[in-house]
Each structure stands twice: as structure tokens, then as C-alpha cells.
Amino acid sequence: MGRGVWYRGSGNSGGGASNAGGAWRNDGGVQPHAFDPDFQPELFRGVLTRRVFAFLIDLVVLSIPVILAVIFIFFFGIITLSLGWVLFGLVSPATVIWAIVYYGSSLGGPHSATVGMRVMDLELRTWYGAPGYFVLGATHAVLFWVSISFLTPLVLLVGLFNGRRRLLHDIILGTVVINSSVRTQVVPQPRAY
């Protein structure tokens, strides 16, 4: 049996009913968003600014192993009379794989947050309130890098025009980044069915 999905009820159990801001469920009803900026503004307060600083922290975390690998390859090349420098060709693909594994495992981990997000008290959730998982985290990172390569820092402007402060890749994937300490006070924990 598959993993159960939890959501907060809208008080409407009839099939085919509509709810603004919700999504269709398999039983014909509408599943509302778990986080509402009108009723829970504290979940989204300062999220964009914190996300920028979290990104910078994650950039440092991602860079440290890459820098150490480059230093190792440099000295290995000196010892092997430049034969080891062939490994420099593997640095770029290894960096991409490292970033995907880092984001996938951290956003799909128990905290649903990268190291930078944890420092800045943020966490990733699906629009219906469930925590992240590995494939979602990896895809989140790939879409972020693709969107930022086309839109540069202008991708942050998307977050200014919606109440949940979601960026373009968040909207595409159906995720939301919220203040994690506030979530535990406002939103009930998921129930297992």
C-alpha cells in the first residue's frame, strides 16, 4: 500500500465541491492548501530574505568538498608528473552530482531543509503540508538552477507577488518554504491513517 497523504479538512466532505486555492483529490473532493498566508502570515514572514542567506550558506557547504577535491587533484598531479591533472575533467560532473545528492538528501531528510535552511529556520513542505522527499529535493535544486540561469536574480521577484512567497520552481513543483519554528506552533502534525 502506498504512503498516505494527510491534509487538513475543509469542512466539506462532498465530492466535486470546489475550494479556492485547493486541488482535486482522487475521491472528487478538493484538498485545500495546508498553509494559508491570510490566516497564518507568521509562517511566511521574512521567508524571501532568509532564503537568500540560506542559499549563500548552502553555497559554502557545497563548495568546501569541491575546493578540497581540486586541491587534492592539483597536488596529485604534481606527484604523478601531471598525469593526475586529467582528473580535473571530472570536477564539473562530480560537482553537479554532489549538489543533487546534497539537496535531495537534505530536503528529503527528517528536517526537510538544507543546512542553510536549518540555520535560517526554514523548511520545505509540499502545498498540502507533507515533508519533502529525495526526488522532490533533487528536482527542486535542478529547477532552481535552471530558473536562475535564465532569470538570474530576477527569479526572486516572483516571490514578491504571491502571498506564500513561492518562487517559480516552488510553484512548478507545488512546494512552499515556511518558517519551521512557527509551523510547529500553528499547524498540527500529520496524522497517520
Q: Does 55 score more than 80 pLDDT?
A: yes
Domain boundaries defined on the chain = 40-186
Each residue of 61-99: pLDDT tens digit?
A: 999 999 999 999 999 999 999 999 999 999 999 999 999
Contact 121, 179 (CB under 8 A): yes
Each residue of 118-171: pLDDT tens digit?
A: 999 999 999 888 999 999 999 999 999 888 888 777 777 888 888 888 988 999
